[in-house]
Amino acid sequence: MKLNQMPPESHKSEHIGWLRAAVLGANDGIVSTASLIIGVAAAQATHQNILVTGVAGLVAGAMSMAAGEYVSVSSQADTENADLAREKAELLANIDFERAELAQIYVGRGLDPELAEKVSEQLMAHDALGAHARDELGITEIFTAKPIQAALASAGAFSVGAALPLLVTLISPPQNLIAVVASSSLIFLILLGVLAAKVGGASIYKGALRVVFWGALAMGLTAGVGSLFGHV
């Protein structure tokens, strides 16, 4: 098969940007909302107040996730843009040095010096800044910071995750609310861990176990605090 006829391969790392934000958002939505509901319920609040608290937690959490992701990823993007601007200036100032620098990187990766120089020359003739961004700075299209995408993915995933324990609360009998919300939320977390592991190509058992452990811990601690302050 000729090189120009080879189909592009699909890799798990292509999903890493949105997958991280989506899994983090959904996990936080389930854990924080379920914990909030369980904590308030343990404090002997009415069913209506529990629902209002859950809805408020969903809205506040989604906005917090969106803002946090946007600020964090924007800072990463600013750093990447500053590095690219500096590299662009260095290419204009001394392109021979930059070509030799790129060749030295390839030598360090195993190419002989003569071949490394040819590769460096050809890649820089095609896209000098792109070659240095990828091989010197480690900035690629897959891992490039995308603030808006990360913010929307986190807020949307958080809302979906938070809606699950809220719906369970809505239909659960008040006398069994804590047990039903806790058990159903753990099931949701298991499914989330399995789904994230399958998309990311990781161990299903490990992915499910870590989200369940931290989710159960959060709900247990919140229930204890709610019960303590409810009696006080």
Taken in order 16, 22, 28, 34, the sign of the CA dihedral is negative
pLDDT, tens digit, for every residue of 80-122? 888 888 888 888 888 888 888 888 888 888 888 888 888 888 8
CA atoms within 13 A on the CB side of 201: 7
Short-list 214, 181, 207, CA closest to 193: 207
Query: Which single residue is written with the structure tokens 């379920």?
Result: 34
Cβ atoms of 211 and 188 within 8 Å: the answer is: no
Task: List per-residue pLDDT tens for the chain, 232 residues long.
Answer: 444 444 444 444 444 555 666 777 888 999 999 999 999 999 989 999 999 999 999 999 999 988 988 888 888 888 888 888 888 888 888 888 888 888 888 888 888 888 888 888 888 888 788 777 777 777 766 556 678 888 888 889 999 999 999 999 999 988 899 999 999 999 999 988 887 777 666 778 887 888 888 889 999 999 888 888 765 4
Cβ atoms of 44 and 169 within 8 Å: the answer is: no
In terms of phi and psi (left: phi > 0; alpha: psi -120 to 50; beta: otherwise), the region of 143 is: alpha
Name all contacts of 183-186 with Cβ < 8 Å and 24+ positions apart: 185/30, 185/31, 185/34, 185/215, 185/219, 186/212, 186/215, 186/216
N-terminal to C-terminal alpha carbon distance within the chain: 75
